[in-house]
Amino acid sequence: MRNYVLKRLGQAVLVLWAAYTLSYLLLSALPGDAVTNRVQNPEAQISPESAQALLEYYGLDRPLWEQYLGSLIAVFDGDLGFSLTNGTSVTELIGDALPSTLALTGLALVFGIVVAAVLAIVINYAPWRWLRGVAGSIPALFGSVPTFVVGVLALQFLSFGLHLIPSTDDGSFVALLAPAATLGALISAPLAQVLSTSIARVRAMPFVHVLHARGASESYAFRRGVLRNSSLPVLTLLGLACGELIAGSVVTEAVYARPGLGQLTVNAVSTQDLPVLQGVVLVATVAYVSVNLVVDLAYPFIDPRILVEGKTRRVPAARIRRKVPIPVVIGHRETGVVAVPAPRELSLEVSMP
């Protein structure tokens, strides 16, 4: 177990470093930045001395590898730099926007899991065929409709039509329900599809038939056997779905005018504020890697065979020589059969799985 945990931790650190390095190189390859565009703008009327001071302050006059090493060392110290547009600390900007996004994605995750579980149970256990067919078509519907379309329709009917939710975020819990439901529908489709398929596969396994043969009800077999054995594929997909939540929050927050990482990202892209973009990418990567690390560490508690890492451990065949009593039949059809044990030496091949 210790080797398994250390291996997963090492992989998480490697993914974080690779994501930060790749995002830094890609963002640095973009033409221009906020400071350079401001310096080169003739309407800004910045003197050459002030322009040089700005470039030196943000380190834009140094080679790319020096900028990268400096930013990487600063990340380990918890310093993400400063915004190129207003000079505010990137850590402060992300700290102000992160709670709203966490509330949105957390509630959306709960909504998506609940909807996916209900759909998967209805698809496999509903007594009516038409209901199973309707429930089976909902994941495909949720997966094919874009997030912004669902958001605009929900905003049109719930806010402007029925006046159930505010059109803009006012900090209330009611204003959070529609964005969370819109974002949760994004991940409920693949979760419901995978969970329903996994439940159908596990229900066809022999141990479930044995439970029913021993008198177990359908609900007991589902709680004690089917649910646990069908949850591993869903856990894997759940870790990947967190990345979709982070990406979908950008669109959802823009549709519902919610402050958060989504709005911060949109503003940073429009102004080419590279330090803010780098900080948002780093935070999103940390969240994604952390969720997948928790999922990986939860695997052995659900299925201890994961610790074997897919390899079947076999003990080499051992030749065992021992005295085995072999019955020797002596007798007659009319008098009956008498079995007399007589020792005889045998060679047995034993293969331990």
Q: Which residue has the tokens 């039949």?
A: 329
- Share of residues in the chain with pLDDT > 70 (%): 77
pLDDT at 235: 78
Angle between helix 274-302 and helix 232-255 axes, rounded to 10 deg: 150
Strand partners, 352: 315
pLDDT at 321: 44
Task: Name the stretches of the chain with pLDDT < 70.
Answer: 32-51, 54, 57-58, 167-171, 302-303, 305-353
DSSP 108-151: HHHHHHHHHHHHHHHHHH-SSHHHHHHHHHHHHHHHHS-HHHHH
pLDDT per position as a tens digit, 175-186: 788 888 888 888
Structure tokens at 82: 């400063």
Closest C-alpha among 26, 254, 16 to residue 264: 254
pLDDT at 44: 55
pLDDT at 42: 60
Closest C-alpha among 263, 224, 215, 210 to residue 104: 263
Cβ-in-10-Å burial (0-12, 13-18, 19+) of 164 comes to: exposed
pLDDT at 38: 65
